[in-house]
Amino acid sequence: MPDEPQQLRALFERAVEMADPMRSLAAALPEKPDGRVVVIGAGKASARMAEAVEAVWGPCEGLVITRYGYARPCTGIEIVEAAHPVPDRAGQEATARMLALCEGLGEGDMVLALVSGGASALLIQPAGEITLLEKQMLNAELLACGAPIGQMNVLRKHLSLVKGGQLAAAAYPARMVCLMISDVPGDDPAMIGSGPTVGDDSTPADARAILTQYGITMPASVAAVLAGAPKVLPPGDERLSKVRNVIYAAPSQSLAAAAELGETMGMRTEILGDAIEGEAREVAAEHAALATARQAAMQPGDAPLLLLSGGELTVTRRGDGVGGPNAEYALALALALNGAPSIHAIACDTDGVDGAAEVAGAIIGPDTLEKARALGVEARAALSNNDAHGFFDALGDQVITGPTLTNVNDFRAILIAEPGRVREDR
């Protein structure tokens, strides 16, 4: 078999390529109307989306907010960079300008909204008396507690003046088309970027319950907002009646593209799911058991088996290391496989950023733990300390891509050799 790490890297790159807005957005873009058109958006892919829009429509009026380092050259649309995953002042100021840009639009105007993963942190306009510092602290606690993205976004919506349909309300009565790249399990448009153009039937009580569940103390300003009337728009609100939301790129498409490439490489492919959630180390243990069972069932001469999966895993922070859900999954998978011959894997975030590190993820193989021992690196200690990035950095097995300019969430692939190859390795 050709070099497995190279094959796995090629599969990941194919998944990312499939979701590149320059490749995929044009087919979903409506014809540019004759009247005034304003382009707005936020997310890690939004600048690339804006670039793709101008490649078809030409220079446009508008403002898009993306992560630091993710800007793209646009002629008319202004690109603002801000912090992710914890918001900053640049994002707050740009959001205020975006809302002002939407004010005064009429029925004959059109807004093109571009939303991708990361918009929850980049679109920042706290409700009530909540300060930016309080939002930053709350966001950091949510990221550390292991809450799934759905719960995080419910809370974010009820503490915001822009999420949960409120961005669309700001542009009403203008017509709005929102093009989305999904990075959430289940591709629910209300969860992508916390649904700035989508209504939501959750309540402030739901948001309070999430804080209670994870033991997060509410500042007085947050308690006051959650005790008041909901800011989030219900799905049937008149101000959402002019909005058409379109998910044009999703994890399932990227996994299918990777599976197709795997088959051209001579692999049998199995997609475990594109919406897998859970604690990274627990899902890794399940996948390790599945991989070894699949390997035990293989017959001599069977083609290699490729197990693909996507979704969004979480990490409950226990230590003070540097890690992310994909790297932690890879480290836990290596420990669970314990050097099982002829099983290799990759786990990466398609946006190129796993957790808060500028690292997409990692690749493991049968020799991962042996390499670590030779270097004096303790795998279990690294996992206990949530230091998966430090572990793979020491081994030279990180996957570093830089900004990919898209985001369809986690990509995981486990490549399993046939029994004949296993016996040769032994």
Q: Taking 90 as the threshold, does the pLDDT of residue 142 lie above it?
A: no
| DSSP label of 193 | G
Instruction: Name the band, by pLDDT with cuts 50, 70 and 90, for residue 425.
Output: very low
pLDDT tens per residue, range 357-366: 899 999 999 9
Amino acid 146: pLDDT: 84
State residue 356's pLDDT score.
Answer: 74
Q: What is the maximum span of the chain, computed from C-alpha positions, in angstroms?
A: 72
Structural domains in the chain, CATH included, are 4-14+252-425 (3.40.1480.10), 31-249 (3.40.50.10180)
Q: What is the mean pLDDT of residues 317-329?
A: 94
- What is residue 280's predicted lDDT score, i.e. its pLDDT? 97
Least confident of 135-144, 158-167, 172-181, 197-206: 135-144
pLDDT on residue 420: 58
Question: How many other C-beta atoms are found inside a 10 Å radius of the C-beta of residue 215?
Answer: 8
What is the reported pLDDT for 403? 95
pLDDT at 144: 86
Q: Which among 196, 171, 39, 166 is positioned nearest to 108, based on CA atoms? A: 171
C-alpha span between 402 and 355 (Å, rounded): 14
- The model's pTM: 0.92
Helix (H) or strand (E) holding 251: helix 251-264
- Please give the order of strands across the beta sheet that includes 61-67: 78-82, 61-67, 37-42, 110-115, 175-181, 243-249
Burial class (CB in 10 A: 0-12, 13-18, 19+), 314: buried
SS3 labels along 219-234 = CHHHHHHHHCCCCCCC
Say which residue, 85 or 386, is predicted with more confidence. Answer: 386
What pLDDT sits at residue 42? 98
pLDDT, tens digit, 9 for 90 and up, residues 287-322: 999 999 999 999 999 999 999 999 999 999 999 999
Half-sphere exposure of 90 (CA within 13 A, CB side): 13
In angstroms, the CA 349 to CA 93 distance is 28
Find out whether 138 and 127 touch, Cβ atoms under 8 Å.
no
**What does the alpha-carbon distance between residue 49 and residue 120 come to, in Å, rounded to a whole number?**
17
Residue 29 CA to residue 155 CA, distance in Å, equals: 31
Q: For residue 122, is pLDDT > 50?
A: yes
CB neighbours of 253 closer than 8 A, spacing ≥ 6? 18, 19, 408
Q: How does pLDDT run across 222-276, given as a tens digit for each residue?
A: 999 999 999 999 999 999 999 999 999 999 999 999 999 999 999 999 999 999 9
How many other CB atoms are there within 10 angstroms of residue 252's CB atom?
16
Which has the closest alpha carbon to 65: 115, 118, 139, 122? Answer: 122
Q: What is residue 47's DSSP assignment?
A: H
Q: Is the dihedral of CA 337, 366, 342, 323 positive or negative?
A: positive
β-strands 410-416, 305-314 pairing = antiparallel
User: In Å, how far from its chain's centre is CA 240?
Assistant: 25
Mean pLDDT for the chain overall: 95
296-to-246, 340, 414, 416, 422 alpha-carbon distances in Å = 43, 11, 15, 10, 10
Enclosing H/E stretch for 274: strand 268-279
* Residue 407, beta-bridge partner list: none
